[in-house]
Chain A
Amino acid sequence: MSMGDDLRALKRRTLLVSAGNATARLMTLVVASKHGPGDPIRFSAADSVLDGIVRRYFGKVDTFKGENGFRNGDLINFSKIAGIFTLILLEERDAPLFEMPNRLVGSAYEGLMLPFFIYVLIGSILSLDLPRVDDEVESDFLRCLTLHPDIRADGDWLCWSMKLFQIAYGDPALSAP
């Protein structure tokens, strides 16, 4: 791995940690508002888990570029970054990412952690204008993430969906060449 690759991996990892910490804070707030205050949820992913996710992410990116005839230096656009991250996090859904307080172990909130983490992550990647996101679109998207693998996520379909998400509620100019 070159120094440039190391830096890219570190930056992707930093983004995962930021999104994970935000997700833990947000869910803690929501639970407190509905059920009263309690111990906080923590984003507790071990370094080895995060490194594994980032390694798999770049592996999938390389595969994707190879399959689609990318030239050296071509970059995948933001919707594909969001789609590939989504796919990997769904595939790694059993990885320990969050530490739940006792009262939330086995609860619906625990089941919503990974879907919401993915939503926060892809929202950040695509710069979604959240107030404009349609309630039904949002709810159905989170339902699909929550019920994976019964609702099977596919890489190409995910990347396509992310592009539409970006066009509808994000900033497509961000990833223009």
Chain B
Amino acid sequence: MTANRDKAVNLPIPDISVLKNWKVKNSSRPFNEDDAIRYLSRAEAQFAERLGKVVDTVLGKDETTTRS
């Protein structure tokens, strides 16, 4: 154990400034707009349902059930 510890090369303590160089991790296959548009045509009815619920939340159900 002692021998191993003697052989170990201790790294210098890094300065706080190295954190400024922290980059995002990223890589991706190409984005395909056609897939997104196909998704949209499939999901439109679901979006309508979600939007209706959000509007109920924002406006309050009592108000939204009263037709103007």
Contact = CB atoms under 8 A, between A and B. Distances in A.
Main secondary structure of the interface of A (DSSP, over half): helix
A142 B27 contact: no
A139 B55 CA distance: 9
A76 B31 CA distance: 9
Interface residues of A, number: 51
Contacts of A105: none
Given A18-B40, A68-B23, A77 B28 contact: yes
Contacts of A120: 40, 47
A34 B64 contact: yes
A76 to B, nearest CB: 6
B3 interface: no
Given A19-B40, A35-B68, A14 B31 contact: no
Contact of A123 (B24, B29, B47, B59): B47
Contacts of B59: 108
B67 A34 contact: yes
Contacts of A3: none
A77 B57 contact: no
Interface string A141-177: 0100000000000001001000000000000001111
A67 B23 CA distance: 8
A175 B31 contact: yes
Given A15-B33, A108-B59, A26 B26 contact: no
A106 interface: no
Interface in B7-52: 23-24, 26-31, 33-37, 39-40, 43-44, 46-52
Interface stretch (A45-53, A94-102, A127-135): A127-135
Contact of A177 (B29, B43, B48): B29
B27 A74 contact: yes
Contact of B31 (A26, A29, A81): A81
A22 B40 contact: yes
Interface in A30-86: 30, 33-36, 67-70, 74-78, 80-81
Contacts of B37: 14-15, 18, 124
